[in-house]
C-alpha cells in the first residue's frame, strides 16, 4: 500500500497512541483546523475549568481568592507547577503571568544592564515583530539608538538563521541576546543549548521566545542553563484567545530586583501587608506585575491536564511523524504546482509546522478556507500548516493535500486577490 492512499492514512491513525485526545476537542464538522500554531482549539477540559472558575466567582465572590475549586491567590503558581515539566524547569523557575510582549519587557527591563562598552542587544531579522518593537523600546528607555545598539543577525536565505552567524555577532559589546526557539515563518528550531553555552562563554545573558515551541517540543531550560524565557499559552497549549503567558527565570538569578515591580510580584506572606517597600518573591513569582487575569488563566488548567497525560516525548514524536508524512505527500502530489517546502527537513532543526511557500500563497489560503481548511498566511509567500499532535489526524493531512491539489488543478485560487485578509 502506497503512502499516498487514504487507506494508508487511516492505518496511521489506527496506530496513533494519542488518537483518544482528538475526542477531547471541539472539532467543527466539515472543517480541518491547521492553525493550532496560532490559536489552539478549545478542549472540553479547558471549558470545564473555565466554567469552574466562573462558578467560584459566582459562589464565593471576593473569597474566591482563597476558596473554591481553583483559588485565585496562588493560581499562577499552581499553573507554573503544571507547566514546568513542559519547559524543562523547576516549578519555582516558572510563573504564568502577563503576555508575551509584557513579559519580554519585564525580562529585558530586569536583565539588560548596559555597562561600559557592553550596551548592545543581539536579535535576528526573522523574529516576530513584537520582540523587535519591545527591544527597540527598551534601548530608547536607556538612551540608546536602536539603529546602532540592536544587532539583527541577517538570514542567508530569507528563511533561516545560521547559529554560526548568531555566535559571530556575540561580540564584547553585547550585553544581551534574545532569540526565538522556533522561527515563526519557516519553523526552524534553533540549538538553544549551543547558543546558551556560546553566550555564557562570552559573559552574555541569553533569553528565548518560546511562543512557537512550548507545547510542541520538549525543552530543558534548566539543564541548558538558559537565563530566561517567555512564551504564550494559547497556541500549542490551547489556553484560549488572549490567554495569559508564561515566563521562566533561571534560579541562579533569584533575588534580582524585577525591572518592572508590581504588587503581585510580592512575597506571598507579606503581599497584603500593603507596605510601600516592595518585598519580591524569592522565585519566578517576583516577575508578576499586576493582578492575575483569572478567567484567562482558568482554561489552561484543563488543557495542561492532557499534556501531563500525553507526555511531551509522545507529543513530539507524533508531531515529527505527522509533519514528515505531510511533507512526503506534498512532495508526491504537489510538486508540479510551484510549491516549495521552506522548513528544514532534519528533525532536530524543525518545530511543529510545515512552511509551504508559493507565489500565490494569500490566494491559496483564501481558497483553502472556502473548502473548510483553516490555514495561516504569513507575508510574503508562506502558508503555515500545523498538524497538532493532540487533535489532528493523518486522514486530515491526507485530505488537505487532496484539497490543495484540486485547488491548483482547477485554478480555483484565481478568483481571489493575492493580498492578506485583515487578520492573516
The binding site for pyridoxal 5'-phosphate consists of 100-101, 128-131, 209, 212, 234, 263, 291
From the centroid of its chain, how far is CA 367? Answer: 27
- Nine-digit cell string for 376: 495561516
| DSSP string across 383-410 | EEEB--TTT--HHHHHHHHHHHHHHHHT
Give the helix ranges, DSSP H, for 311-384: 312-333, 361-370
Residue with cell 484560549: 240
Rounded Cα distance between 387 and 33, Å, is 8
Tell me the β-bridge partners of 276.
none
Q: Are 287 and 92 in contact (CB under 8 A)?
A: no
Pairing of strands 228-231, 205-209: parallel
Residue with cell 497512541: 17
Rounded Cα distance between 112 and 167, Å, is 19
- Nine-digit cell string for 173: 559589546
Q: Are 267 and 254 in contact (CB under 8 A)?
A: no
Mark the binding-site residues, compressed into ranges: 100-101, 128-131, 209, 212, 234, 263, 291
From the list 260, 250, 253, 255, the residue with the least C-alpha distance to 287 is 260
- The angle, 0 to 180 degrees and rounded to 10, between the axes of the packed helices 100-111 and 129-141 is 40
First to last CA, the chain: 38
Rounded Cα distance between 313 and 208, Å, is 21
From the centroid of its chain, how far is CA 394? Answer: 23
Angle formed at CA 265 by CA 245 and CA 274, multiple of 5 degrees: 140
Radius of gyration of the chain (CA): 22
Rounded Cα distance between 56 and 20, Å, is 30
Rounded Cα distance between 393 and 365, Å, is 20
Amino acid at each position: 500500500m502506497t503512502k499516498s492512499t487514504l487507506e494508508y492514512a487511516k492505518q496511521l491513525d489506527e496506530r496513533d497512541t494519542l488518537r483518544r485526545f482528538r475526542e477531547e476537542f471541539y472539532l467543527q464538522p466539515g472543517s480541518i483546523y491547521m492553525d493550532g500554531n496560532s490559536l489552539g482549539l478549545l478542549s472540553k477540559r479547558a471549558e470545564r475549568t473555565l466554567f469552574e472558575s466562573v462558578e467560584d466567582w459566582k459562589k464565593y465572590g471576593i473569597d474566591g481568592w482563597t476558596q473554591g475549586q481553583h483559588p485565585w491567590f496562588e493560581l499562577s503558581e499552581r499553573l507554573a507547577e503544571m507547566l514546568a515539566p513542559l519547559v524543562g524547569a523547576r516549578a519555582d523557575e516558572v510563573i504564568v503571568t502577563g503576555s508575551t510582549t509584557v513579559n519580554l519587557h519585564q525580562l529585558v527591563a530586569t536583565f539588560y544592564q548596559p555597562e561600559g562598552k557592553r550596551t548592545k542587544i543581539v536579535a535576528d531579522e526573522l523574529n516576530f515583530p513584537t520582540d523587535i518593537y519591545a527591544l527597540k523600546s527598551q534601548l530608547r528607555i536607556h538612551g540608546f539608538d536602536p539603529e546602532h545598539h540592536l544587532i539583527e543577525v541577517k538570514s542567508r536565505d530569507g528563511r533561516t538563521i545560521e547559529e554560526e552567524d548568531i555566535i559571530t555577532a556575540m561580540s564584547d559589546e553585547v550585553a544581551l541576546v534574545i532569540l526565538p526557539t522556533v522561527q515563526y515563518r519557516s519553523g526552524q528550531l534553533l540549538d538553544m543549548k549551543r547558543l546558551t553555552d556560546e553566550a555564557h562563554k562570552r559573559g552574555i545573558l541569553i533569553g528565548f521566545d518560546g511562543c512557537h515551541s512550548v507545547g510542541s517540543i520538549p525543552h530543558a531550560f534548566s539543564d541548558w542553563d538558559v537565563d530566561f524565557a517567555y512564551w504564550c499559552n494559547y497556541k500549542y497549549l490551547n489556553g484560549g484567545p488572549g490567554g495569559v503567558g508564561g515566563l521562566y527565570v533561571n534560579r541562579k538569578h533569584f533575588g534580582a530586583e524585577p525591572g518592572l515591580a508590581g504588587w503581585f510580584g510580592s512575597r506571598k506572606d507579606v503581599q497584603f501587608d500593603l507596605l510601600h517597600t516592595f518585598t519580591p518573591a524569592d522565585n519566578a513569582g517576583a516577575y508578576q506585575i499586576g493582578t492575575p487575569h483569572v478567567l484567562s488563566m482558568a482554561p489552561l488548567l484543563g488543557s495542561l491536564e492532557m499534556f501531563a497525560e500525553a507526555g511531551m516525548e509522545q507529543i513530539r514524536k507524533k508531531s515529527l511523524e505527522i509533519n514528515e508524512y505531510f511533507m512526503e505527500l506534498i512532495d508526491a502530489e504537489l510538486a508540479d504546482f510551484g510549491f516549495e517546502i521552506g522548513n528544514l527537513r532534519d528533525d532536530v532543526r524543525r518545530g511543529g509546522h510545515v512552511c509551504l511557500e508559493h507565489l500565490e500563497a494569500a490566494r491559496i489560503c483564501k481558497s483553502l478556507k472556502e473548502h473548510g481548511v483553516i490555514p495561516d498566511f504569513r507575508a510574503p509567500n508562506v502558508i503555515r500548516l500545523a498538524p497538532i499532535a493532540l487533535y489532528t489526524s493523518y486522514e486530515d493531512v491526507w485530505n488537505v493535500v487532496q484539497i490543495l491539489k484540486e485547488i491548483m488543478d482547477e485554478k480555483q485560487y484565481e478568483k481571489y486577490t493575492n493580498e492578506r485578509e485583515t487578520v492573516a
